[in-house]
Structure 1
Amino acid sequence: MADDYLVRVGTLIRDARRHKKLTQSELAEALQTSQSAVARIEQGKQNLSLETLARISEALDTEVVAVASSTPLNLRIEGGRQLSGAIDVRTSKNAAVACLCAALLNKGRTTLRNLARIEEVNRITEVLGSIGVRTRWLPDSSDLEITPPKTLDLAAMDETAARRTRTILMFLGPLLHEFSEFKLPNAGGCDLGERTVEPHLHALKAFGLGVVATHGYYHASVDHDAYAGGSRRIILTERGDTVTENAIFAAARIEDETTIRNASPNYMVQDLCFFLQKLGVEIEGIGTTTLKVRGVKHIDKDVEYHPSEDPIEAMSLLAAAVVTDSEITIKRVPIEFMEIELTLLEGMGMKYDTGPEYLSANGKTRLVDLRTIPGPLKARKDKIHPMPFPGLNIDNLPFFAVIAAVAEGTTTLHDWVYDNRAIYLTDLTPLGAKVQLMDPHRVLIEGPTRWRAAEIMCPPALRPGMVILLAMLAAPGVSVLRNTYVINRGYEELYSRLNALGANIQTFRDI
């Protein structure tokens, strides 16, 4: 079995065991094996025969493999508990996917260290594997090794996996170096309303890429003669993260200088630039809105890189502390990408301590350990809205909804980027929050909230889904959050890590 498949099956076995309220030792006794063997199985570190799977299915009274393909994962949450202790911020989802796509530029072996083992990464590795790229998790680690074939087989692409992630759009930049014509399935991912791909096409047109959208596919053609002749300047029509990354991919294998203006200086773009520098690509202006890229025509280098920590996960953990009125220590917080969020929270009355700065394993990103101090909050008088970095991160905005719900007064959130996401925040209402939808982009939230338990279907968007989970942590009683696949797209081992802080989150499936 492939390593990632073993991990997923192991997770299903663990979930089914917990649903049956069995310990690892009790399941081991039923299987006539050791507790350590069960632990290895649940960690995805044990090869499984069909006979073993059948015995496990019998012991747990569930068809493990059938469950894996068809039954949604649900959460049962006993809320109203304070959290305590320390928790590390894991590495960035968005940096991981950027570096995975960038590995297509390299003919050598790429090793990404301490990568987030999340569903979004699984989808991309499935797509990469289907077109001939060999990926494997190194033993007893979260290090992913990526080895490309001599020629990519795009005709064999796993379209089901590709359509489940918007990241597939980020293949455009790397693939234009390899093919004169190719097609990609239409992108998926979170349901956040209509998001045009026009900014990507505008950015890549300067590199000879033309795209025609037909039902279900993007058909790309590349005029490689457009590469020839001197430096080029690209002005992005939006300061988007993935748009900037696609432009960087396109520039990374062109020896002439490319200037990218109105570039995103956000955390995942910086990680991508640091990674490409290790491949020999020269990049100036990292962390600014103007990048100068001088590429390498042929990249064939064995390289390793450590993606940095995730500021969105850091914000998620910070919000968990706020809504549960808890003192916890959040370690490895990428402070450069949290400063606006923390400043807004200070204005609402939040108190916290930070330790001295130190560097992430990439040698670039500044980290701190942050201790939350419980206390009452007041609503912010001005509306809270996102801006491109160094402003409030668009992915961190939803967490201010659940924070505003515990603050005294009325807060306005303006999510001007996405068409649908503000609407999902009204799902806080069954949990007791007073949320008024003013229009598809703005919500009015009145606090403080008297939380109550509820059963809710998880919104089809990652950050709003996490917001509902956080509110359930605050709500006394037992809540149920159904069909949580979207949360697993962006968070690694989230439930067990929160449980280690004192939460009570149990996974189960409807059987």
Structure 2
Amino acid sequence: MVDQYLSQVGTLIRAARRNKSLTQSDLARSLHTSQSAVARIEQGRQNLSLEMLARIGEALGTEVVTVSSNAPLNLRIEGGRPLSGSIDVRTSKNAAVACLCAALLNKGTTTLRSLARIEEVNRIVEVLSSIGVNCRWLPGTDDLEIRPPRRLDLAAIDEDAARRTRTILMFLGPLLHEFGAFSLPMAGGCDLGTRTVEPHLQALRTFGLDVVAHAGKYTATVTPDVRPARPIVLTERGDTVTENALFAAARTEGVTVIRNASPNYMVQDLCFFLRKLGVQIDGIGTTTLTVQGISEIRTDVEYFPSEDPIEAMSLLTAGIVTKSEITVKRVPIEFMEIELAVLESMGASFTVGEEYLAANGATRLVDVTTHPSRLHAAKDKIHPMPFPGLNIDNLPFFAVIAACADGETTIHDWVYENRAIHLTELERLGARVKLMDPHRLLISGPTRWRATEMMSPPALRPAVVLLLAMLATPGVSVLRNIYVINRGYENLDGRLNALGANIEVFRDR
């Protein structure tokens, strides 16, 4: 019976693959496995886990192998193992979502190269597809081709996918060029406390957009032919706020000046992409952007988003807390220099290689090799600052690093109300963490780690911090319901396993 079932499933997979015009090698690449393994699957000679069935379904874009179970994905981690080898940093999640939203500005074909196949990207693709945008993963690649329809169908929007990502808020800027009135589902994403949308609305009002939040929706009306009469001063130097202002300015004829703009990595990537669309932008990397907008964009363009400094910090942390020598390749050094300086002040030993350029032709990359080190607590509190300061999304990794260091370290997360609370979950693994207030943690090390089983918190970076702590913890730990990790990382467990970790993905029966 099992053999017959496997044979039937294999036949369905082969038919779905051929319908997608994929070779066995193409499918193997998407699954991070071998061509011979795909051949065995299609011949019904390979046992299939629920996780592999789900991955095949995603790779083929079909429900032919979708499993009926809604059980969440979990990780079983055998920790305390040294890591070795090298690993590439994948392209940036946040740059990818910015460019996906910016593709709505273009009436031509946009091809985004080497995107990370992560849940956040998947949700946006689902939303774009639901409103009529033709999104196609090019066979055998991680390249996404985006072709807009003649007119977007917002009435058909996939509300479930939209509510599972905060990125939906970034549709406001592009859509104000397309509609006199429209509505969007309210944004979701990580549970990090109250995050007001007012800075977005303040910036977009200067382009004629008025938004009312009611009954789970943003209802927008656009007054035509309104443009900023003077420079826009953002009330928050936020990344997505700056991106929304850039979307609005890109297709507003004339010059728009944006002050107190974020110069962070994803904003720079977006600016480089908009330049390829023909929008002139001066001041990239500074807090003042001058945009020469154009009323219509109709060009076929390809763009390579740069590597992700947050993933780079995640991988470096894996090497540091497991006292391993690993080489993290393609680290965007411009956005990691403060982090490396703080690590060095805590006694971390690492080697930084020569600089080279990313595929976008602008971002500077290096390879960084970690070495086993004896860490000590930071003398000053560790806190984030807008670029070029320590990145807010890299701050949580210093919690697990501080737990491995001698002495007491203060972590001050002044941006989010809830994230410091999520990091107190490290206590379950043996760390000594004192929550001084909703924004400040006092962490005493070194930690005598102990294996445990726990639920993943509903916030991306704290969830990855717990995974990294489990890598440092001797014994077998379990992290349950890791969807939030898959929002921001592609195949993180498999890539860490390639370095010598022992992480098993499973679902409850």
Question: 2:67 maps to what in 1?
Answer: 65
Question: 2:304 maps to what in 1?
Answer: 306
- How has the CA–CA distance of structure 1 residues 330 and 49 changed in structure 2, closer, same or farther, with 3 Å as cutoff? closer
Say whether residues 1:203 and 2:203 are aligned partners.
yes
Structure 2 SS opposite 1:396: coil
* C-alpha distance in 2 between matches for 1:81 and 1:314: 20
Question: 1:169 maps to what in 2?
Answer: 169
Question: 1:475 maps to what in 2?
Answer: 473
- How has the CA–CA distance of structure 1 residues 26 and 429 changed in structure 2, closer, same or farther, with 3 Å as cutoff? farther
Question: 2:292 maps to what in 1?
Answer: 294
CA-based RMSD of the aligned residues comes to 2.6
* C-alpha distance in 2 between matches for 1:355 and 1:43: 40
* C-alpha distance in 2 between matches for 1:296 and 1:379: 52
* C-alpha distance in 1 between matches for 2:384 and 2:31: 39
- How has the CA–CA distance of structure 1 residues 25 and 99 changed in structure 2, closer, same or farther, with 3 Å as cutoff? closer
- How has the CA–CA distance of structure 1 residues 446 and 306 changed in structure 2, closer, same or farther, with 3 Å as cutoff? same
Structure 2 SS opposite 1:31: coil
* C-alpha distance in 2 between matches for 1:122 and 1:233: 35
Q: Is the 8 A contact 2:53 2:67 kept in 1?
A: no
Mapping of residues 465-504 of structure 1, within 5 Å: 465-504=463-502
* C-alpha distance in 2 between matches for 1:39 and 1:177: 41
Q: Is the 8 A contact 1:270 1:286 kept in 2?
A: yes
Structure 1 SS opposite 2:210: strand
Question: 1:7 maps to what in 2?
Answer: none
Question: 1:270 maps to what in 2?
Answer: 268
Q: Is the 8 A contact 1:90 1:313 kept in 2?
A: yes
> Aligned AA for 2:224?
H
Q: Is the 8 A contact 1:402 1:471 kept in 2?
A: yes
Question: 2:44 maps to what in 1?
Answer: 31
Q: Is the 8 A contact 2:54 2:67 kept in 1?
A: no
Structure 1 SS opposite 2:296: coil
Mapping of residues 141-156 of structure 1, within 5 Å: 141-156=141-156
* C-alpha distance in 1 between matches for 2:301 and 2:352: 34
1:225 shift after superposition: 2.7
1:420 shift after superposition: 0.3
Question: 1:133 maps to what in 2?
Answer: 133
Q: Is the 8 A contact 1:415 1:442 kept in 2?
A: yes
Q: Is the 8 A contact 1:234 1:259 kept in 2?
A: yes
Question: 2:429 maps to what in 1?
Answer: 431
Question: 1:405 maps to what in 2?
Answer: 403
CA distances 1:196-231 after superposition (whole Å, capped 9, x unpaired): 00000001110001011102001101111313xx86
Q: Is the 8 A contact 1:231 1:256 kept in 2?
A: no
Q: Is the 8 A contact 2:89 2:329 kept in 1?
A: yes
Q: 1:355 aligns with which of 340, 353, 356?
A: 353
* C-alpha distance in 2 between matches for 1:142 and 1:491: 14
- How has the CA–CA distance of structure 1 residues 74 and 27 changed in structure 2, closer, same or farther, with 3 Å as cutoff? farther
Structure 2 SS opposite 1:243: helix
1:154 shift after superposition: 0.4
* C-alpha distance in 2 between matches for 1:441 and 1:47: 42
Structure 1 SS opposite 2:225: helix
- How has the CA–CA distance of structure 1 residues 472 and 259 changed in structure 2, closer, same or farther, with 3 Å as cutoff? same
Say whether residues 1:184 and 2:192 are aligned partners.
no
* C-alpha distance in 1 between matches for 2:47 and 2:478: 33
* C-alpha distance in 2 between matches for 1:255 and 1:28: 55
* C-alpha distance in 1 between matches for 2:42 and 2:232: 64
- How has the CA–CA distance of structure 1 residues 451 and 26 changed in structure 2, closer, same or farther, with 3 Å as cutoff? farther
1:42 shift after superposition: 4.1
In the alignment, structure 1 segments of 5+ residues that lack a partner are: 4-9, 18-22, 54-63
* C-alpha distance in 2 between matches for 1:128 and 1:397: 32
> Aligned AA for 2:387?
F
Q: Is the 8 A contact 2:31 2:59 kept in 1?
A: no
Equivalent residue pairs, number:
481
Q: Is the 8 A contact 1:231 1:257 kept in 2?
A: no
1:43 shift after superposition: 8.7
* C-alpha distance in 2 between matches for 1:434 and 1:491: 28
Structure 1 SS opposite 2:435: strand
* C-alpha distance in 1 between matches for 2:489 and 2:90: 8
Question: 2:3 maps to what in 1?
Answer: none
Question: 1:58 maps to what in 2?
Answer: none
Q: 1:454 aligns with which of 448, 452, 455?
A: 452
1:232 shift after superposition: 3.4
Mapping of residues 40-439 of structure 1, within 5 Å: 42=56, 50=64, 53=65, 64-67=66-69, 70-227=70-227, 232-439=230-437
* C-alpha distance in 2 between matches for 1:215 and 1:41: 35
1:360 shift after superposition: 0.1
Structure 2 SS opposite 1:489: helix
> Aligned AA for 1:487?
I
* C-alpha distance in 2 between matches for 1:254 and 1:178: 12
- How has the CA–CA distance of structure 1 residues 302 and 477 changed in structure 2, closer, same or farther, with 3 Å as cutoff? same
> Aligned AA for 2:44?
L
Structure 2 SS opposite 1:403: helix
Identity %: 70
* C-alpha distance in 1 between matches for 2:63 and 2:201: 47
* C-alpha distance in 1 between matches for 2:259 and 2:38: 59
1:255 shift after superposition: 1.6
Query: Which runs of structure 1 show a deviation greater than 6 angstroms over 4 or more consecutive aligned residues?
Result: 38-41
Stretch moving more, 216-225 or 308-317: 216-225
1:452 shift after superposition: 0.9
> Aligned AA for 1:442?
R
Structure 1 SS opposite 2:226: helix
- How has the CA–CA distance of structure 1 residues 321 and 96 changed in structure 2, closer, same or farther, with 3 Å as cutoff? same
* TM-score (normalizing by structure 1): 0.90
* C-alpha distance in 1 between matches for 2:255 and 2:149: 28
* C-alpha distance in 1 between matches for 2:54 and 2:213: 46
CA distances 1:399-450 after superposition (whole Å, capped 9, x unpaired): 0000000000000001010010000001111111001111111111000011
> Aligned AA for 1:225?
D
Q: Is the 8 A contact 2:57 2:63 kept in 1?
A: no
Structure 2 SS opposite 1:304: strand
* C-alpha distance in 1 between matches for 2:325 and 2:205: 51
Question: 2:7 maps to what in 1?
Answer: none
Q: Is the 8 A contact 1:284 1:291 kept in 2?
A: yes
* C-alpha distance in 1 between matches for 2:136 and 2:399: 39
Q: 2:443 aligns with which of 439, 442, 445?
A: 445
* C-alpha distance in 2 between matches for 1:392 and 1:441: 16
